[in-house]
Amino acid sequence: PEYIPGHIPDPDYVRIFDTTLRDGEQSPGATLTSSEKLEIARNLAKLGVDVIEAGFPIASPDDFIAVKQIADIVGNEVFEDGYVPVIAGLSRANEKDIARAWDA
């Protein structure tokens, strides 16, 4: 359902916020290429995940590129029912992090 701040259209609806693309790489040796992240993001979108946390853009140039690619491709893909997933990037509460996430 459409998100309208302060309004709950269906109180039984559960929004899914998936952190696989960022948190999934926190284990030693668990790394994903940009193309693998894009493939996972596309599949999460096909599953109807509401919010896809694509990564931590300030962490590295590769992470920035992956988040930007996912936002540009998956975040602009409109499904038959009008669904478009929200693509998020993690940032700490400082200007540099927030600006980098916004740029991605």
- For every one of its 104 residues, what pLDDT tens digit does the chain have, with 9 covering 90 and above? 566 666 767 778 888 999 999 888 888 888 888 899 999 999 999 999 999 999 999 999 999 999 999 999 999 988 877 788 999 999 999 999 999 999 99
What total of structural domains would you count in the chain? 1
The answer as to whether 5 is a domain residue is: no
Q: What is the pLDDT of residue 13?
A: 80
The answer as to whether 95 is a domain residue is: yes
Which domain, by its residues, includes 43? 17-103
The answer as to whether 77 is a domain residue is: yes
Q: What is the pTM of this model?
A: 0.84
The answer as to whether 79 is a domain residue is: yes
d(CA 17, CA 31): 20
Q: Are 53 and 17 in contact (CB under 8 A)?
A: yes
d(CA 68, CA 83): 20
Q: What is the pLDDT of residue 2?
A: 65
The answer as to whether 8 is a domain residue is: no
The answer as to whether 93 is a domain residue is: yes
Q: What is the pLDDT of residue 5?
A: 65
The answer as to whether 55 is a domain residue is: yes
d(CA 33, CA 29): 12
3-state helix, strand, coil split of the chain in percent (to 5) is 40, 10, 45
The answer as to whether 4 is a domain residue is: no
Q: Are 100 and 64 in contact (CB under 8 A)?
A: yes
CA dihedral 92, 64, 23, 8 (to 10 degrees): 70
Q: What is the pLDDT of residue 84?
A: 86
The CA-atom distances, in angstroms, between 23 and each of 11, 31, 60, 81, 101 are 28, 11, 15, 29, 16
Q: What is the pLDDT of residue 23?
A: 85
